[in-house]
Structure 1
Amino acid sequence: MPTFTDPARDAGEAYEALRGLAHATRTFESPADTYAVIGDLLGGLRSLRQVLDQLAAAHLNHQHHVTDECREYSGGAAEALAAADKLHQAGTLIDQADDRLSAAMTHSGRIVWNPQDRLVERWAGIVFLQGEDADRVLDLIDAKGVKACIDHLSQWDYGAETTDAAMVNGDVHDSAPVYAGDRQAETGDYAMTYNPHAGHVSLYRRHMIRAEDAIDPPAESHVPAPRSTPTRESATRRSAVREGGWFEHPGVAAVKQARGLSL
């Protein structure tokens, strides 16, 4: 606790308090607390400015009553004047720091740390192909490159309709899935994952959703099973793709059938 009467003791406590603050500010559990910390630092900086002036005054007031290490009064006076001058210069620099810290506090006060409309990135599945359907696309990659293939597959992206189908099918991911041996290429908002050896191709589109609608991933990451052996989900998808055309997402096919859009 400050004594308000013992400069040496209070200076020691101020030093320990700053050490503690330096340790505590390594992380902020609530970033909004930074505004209050800046405000307290600003108050402390102004007190420090006052302390520097008072230290300088103490040196000036006693300049004629001190000596240097050689017991010379003239030397002691010169050292006291030099110390006071440096303390005044430090005070001038504190004024500049005060201006910068005040500006930082103004900007920090304008921040909304937890906006309700914050968006997070997710990746919605557009199409998944394997077998002969994937082979044709892999041939297209060899012939014209990955960008041309992504542009081609993106023609089967029906926007919100495809996104809704991906949501229903659970085909929305924190990042575009990449399995062992897969290759990946991105163009704009699209990411294509393909594996010539396993014989599958997937296309995903970046989709932004509200942060409060996002579901946190499980604590333990799930290692997906190899795709070389089709699972029930894979078989269902492949069947739906063939029924709706080469690249049509199974969810989109179902929506189109319900709307009477399929042939």
Structure 2
Amino acid sequence: MPTFNNPTANATEASEALRGLAHATRVFEDPGDTYAVLGDLLAGVRSLRQVVDQLATAHVTHRVRAHDDAGDQAAGATNALTATAELQQAAALLDAVHDRVDAAMAASGRIAWHPEPTETPSVPRWMSVVFLQGQDADEVLAIIDRDGTDAAIEHLAGFDMGEETTQAALINGYVYDTIPTGSLDRTTTAGSYALTYNHDHGHVSLLRAHPERREPDAGAPSARTTPTLPRARRQAAVVEEEDDWFAPSQSSSALRGRAL
């Protein structure tokens, strides 16, 4: 318990309390508790600011009693004044800490914490709509240079036949856990589409997000996840059964926060 008159005992107790707080705040079971902790921490910063200021005052007030180990009073007084200056700098820095913690507490107070989700949200996979290279890709690359990637996506979206394209991609395994790209490919997204293109290698690819992570049928090919060098082919709405240009993967891959 605080003594209010023994600075060394209170300093030891404060140090232990901060050690306990550092340990306890490693995990928050209820994130709403962060607001209450911020409130107490803000009060602690104010008190710490006062302590540092009072330590600075003590050093300068009692500098005539300061000596070094050899008994030199002038050297001791110099060290006392140095300690005072450093503590005054620390007090100024604590003013900034106070302002930042205060701002963080204000933002935290505006959060309405919801319960932990009971269901894992679906993670979209990406299915290939069309892959073009060579002369076929040159036209799309020219559109990118002239009109931008949105225009290229709009152009390539004409290859998307909806459910027909979806089924073709699922049957042939042109479904990926992440957008497949090579090391020099550029990628951009618009809505549910992702465009990858490479001027140096002369190829473009349009993919569409497929939100359902359904387990594939026992006889169906597994989804690919890792890209390799493209093969010379053109895959339109209905995909021919041939080797993909991506290598197959081995697996599918107040003082409380408000709580709702």
**Superposition TM-score, scaled by structure 1 size:** 0.51
* Whole-angstrom CA distance in 2 between matches of 1:101 and 1:59: 29
Question: How large is the RMSD of aligned CA atoms in angstroms?
Answer: 3.8
* Whole-angstrom CA distance in 2 between matches of 1:192 and 1:147: 18
Deviation of the 1:121 alpha carbon: 2.6
Give deviations 1:193-236, integer Å, cap 9, x for gaps: 7969814799xxxxxxxxxxxxxxxxxxxxxxxxxxxxxxxxxx
1:53/1:91 contact within 8 Å kept: yes
Q: 1:73-222 alignment to 2 at 5 Å? A: 73-114=73-114, 121-122=121-122, 146-148=128-130, 151-152=160-161, 154=163, 184-185=175-176, 187-190=208-211, 198-199=219-220
The residue identity in structure 2 corresponding to 1:76 is: G
2:129/2:160 contact within 8 Å kept: yes
The residue identity in structure 1 corresponding to 2:65 is: H
Which structure exhibits the higher relative contact order, with contacts defined as CA atoms closer than 8 Å and separated by 6 or more residues?
2
1:192/1:201 contact within 8 Å kept: no
Q: Which has the larger radius of gyration?
A: 1
* Whole-angstrom CA distance in 2 between matches of 1:190 and 1:151: 16
Provide closer, same or farther for how the CA distance between residues 190 and 13 of structure 1 changes in structure 2, counting only shifts above 3 A.
Answer: closer
**Secondary structure at 2:129 match in 1:** helix
Contiguous gaps of at least 5 residues in structure 1? 125-144, 158-177, 203-263
Q: 4+ runs of 1 displaced by more than 6 Å?
A: 115-120, 192-197
1:26 aligns with 2:35: no
- Residue 41 of structure 2 aligns with which residue? 41
1:45/1:98 contact within 8 Å kept: yes
Q: Which has the larger helix fraction?
A: 1
1:61 aligns with 2:61: yes
Provide closer, same or farther for how the CA distance between residues 153 and 123 of structure 1 changes in structure 2, counting only shifts above 3 A.
Answer: farther
